[in-house]
Amino acid sequence: MNNNSLHSVLAACCLAACRIASAQQATDHPLYLAGPQIPVEQRVDSLIDSMTLEEKASQLGNVAPAIPRLQVPRYNWWNEGLHGVARAGVATVFPQAIGMAATFDAPLLHQVGDVISTEFRAKYYQALEPDGSAQYYGLTVWSPNINIFRDPRWGRGQETYGEDPYLTARLGVAFVTGLQGDDPRYLKTVATPKHFAVHSGPESTRHTVDVHASRHDMEDTYLPAFRATVMEAKAQSVMCAYNSLNGQPACANTDLLQQHLRDDWGFQGYVVSDCGAVADVFNAHHYAAAPEQGVTAVFEAGTDLICGDYRRHMTTEPDAIVSAVRSGMLPQAVIDRALRRLFSARFRLGLFDPAASVPYSSLSAADNDTEAHRQLALRMARESIVLLKNRDHLLPLTAAPKSIAVIGPNADSLDALLGNYHGTPSRPVTVLAGIRQRFPGASVSYVEGTGLIGPAATPGQDDRKALDAARAADLVVVVLGLSANVEGEEMKVEAAGFAGGDRSSIDLPAPQQQLLQRIHALGKPTVLVLMNGSALAINWADAHVAAILDAWYPGEEGGTALAEAIAGDFSPAGRLPVTFYRSVAQLPAFDDYSMRGRTYRYFDGEALYPFGYGLSYTTFSYRNAHADRSEISASQSVTISAQVTNAGALAGDEVVQLYLSRPGVAGAPLRALRGFSRIHLERGQTQTVQFVLRDRDLDVVDAEGAHRIVAGKVEVWIGGGQPAARAGLAATAGARTRFTITSSATLPD
């Protein structure tokens, strides 16, 4: 640098310093409170420089206390929002995440994310205390859960977007961008994709297990959704998991937190631990000998915020972070780095700025649980319903029945609407209530018949009374399945087929199966409604029951949507985001994290219902499937198109799915979803659907985890599901085409 250049740089620095000093003097506030005209980075550094070591340590837990002398308010980082604002009173409750995944509708999920962030803001301003926020009323949202639902026995799979990395990535990006908003300066909320990484059961070993995942499986299955939410959606937070991965606890895992997250993906936000995961580093994984070594390991690896108790159990002993710093074990610069990331988020949320500067500050209690939000929950519930069976076109009903018997443990269950991690709906509609509302002229009887895993909860509501009600009805609606009382996070459920929130069997629980068979023997027109968070092996029902609808945990308007679907007010078009296997005998061991034999991508057996499957009340045809180029190089893109026609008698949605196959290419799955689009077609209407494929859309992951575009032929299927058929399951409508890749290339990480 020559002298003139040096003088110019020094002059510019002096001018900037003068401007900052002037701004600080003009406001009579420290620099970090001087207002949004000062760059966030400078405000954050000013604040951190003003803090003592003890004050710094206090800000590194999920409950960050106020620092009155610095005018720093208290903040609680812990907020849940998988399918609505959770655990903070009344809020709009959308279908559980697995149900929203069944819509295959990314734009709709983006709208839901935006509404959830609106309600978070409304609740934050409504409940804001003079010294800061309370738990579950903040703006840092610990969602979405984008772990891959690799095994249907996992109780928390209901929180995910299913088993496919591409679907999970696209839905994760939609939800994150909905939560965080699009303001150039301020975040509406902070989204937190979790649990990084390879966290998918069993629940009983999650605090101690060391998961071994190959480089191929990591890059091919477990990491793509995290990469997409960080690089595309710009998620500002990531939660690390309880488990160890390949020898290092996830929250002290340098390969995950440094190599992948920050070096390869350019992540600029903060990492929060799952609650108690840092204590697991020394108490459960025994990766560190004591709390001081544990906190040192996690902060140096890249974790920035600790949820749960990371301190010693005796209050008379010093804070583990303070002790680690004072002993020289943990450099203070490392915790300053963590604080810089944390306070940057709080400043970008506008928590240190005047309300007039923050575009979301006008939101209030009136913006929570609105009629428009309830209508969006209803739309999401409608789109999430999957029609699994419809023999002899029992549905939709051609005439309103005079009498309906509604039977089953989930028929009038609030729990079955909500799933886990939910808010409190102000006007929930159960299936029973929805049917009574939709069929006001019918005589509707209700009998519980059985409990989920045992006798009916209400005396006199046993199967004998259920059979009497069914015998007297023109139509029987049997509402069975699961609830968050028997599947979920680290639960104390011990019954046949269940184990601590997970399942040891994927069959319908025996009491429900027996009730269903007895009702079927009556010969009455019967509709089976399933409410569940994971796949059920309903082999007998598939063979015997005429009509089956899967509603998942459909949220506050689930009963309305189901009654409308039965009546034929709309044509169901949801698709399965997971494979429905015939039994656990088709699955590898639950604690085997290899993807061999798992999910539709690597399972070569016959599924009961395949991933992407779902029927309709109308029919669709596909023609003129076409690749715009017969040959492309590794650096080029290709556009796949097809004409889709509603050839049936009713208007309806179709979920167009694009799958690629690379026969003979090492590392390639049997087939892989690489595009989807939910469209609405009136009867007789035709629409051309296009998908542009490039880069990672075309790649195959090799044994070393490298993403490669491999020369050779690419088989393409475009249709309403996978090209799969079996006895009793008709072939899915669709069409085939192909193209050739003429050169190979390795893609960057």
Catalytic residues, by residue number, are 274, 487
Backbone phi, psi, residue 323, to 5°: -60, -40
Phi-psi bin for 417: left (phi > 0), alpha (psi -120 to 50), beta? alpha
Spell out the residues 6+ positions from residue 54 whose beta carbon is closer than 8 angstroms to its own: 319, 322
Which of 30, 65, 53, 83 is CA-nearest to residue 556?
Answer: 83
Three-class HEC string of 359-389 = CCCCCCHHHCCCHHHHHHHHHHHHHHCEEEE
> Which segments within 280-435 are labelled E, that is strand?
386-390, 403-407
> Which segments within 468-600 are labelled E, that is strand?
475-481, 494-495, 498-499, 502-503, 526-531, 547-550
Asked if the peptide bond before residue 202 counts as cis, ω within 30 degrees of 0, the response is yes
279 vs 295: CA distance, rounded Å: 9
Over the Cα atoms of the chain, what is R_g? Answer: 27
348, 311 in Cβ contact below 8 A?
Answer: no
105 vs 462: CA distance, rounded Å: 40
411, 477 in Cβ contact below 8 A?
Answer: yes
Burial of residue 623, with CB atoms counted within 10 A of its CB: 0-12 exposed, 13-18 middle, 19 or more buried? exposed
369, 195 in Cβ contact below 8 A?
Answer: no
* Structure tokens that stand for 492 in this block: 């104390």
3-state SS, residue 89: coil
Q: How many C-beta atoms lie closer than 10 Å to residue 363's C-beta?
A: 21
**Beta 475-481 vs 403-407: how paired, if at all?**
parallel
Spell out the residues 6+ positions from residue 413 whose beta carbon is closer than 8 angstroms to its own: 430, 483, 531
| Alpha-carbon separation of residue 224 from 81, 217, 300, 552, 654 (angstroms) | 22, 10, 25, 25, 26
User: DSSP state, 154?
Assistant: -
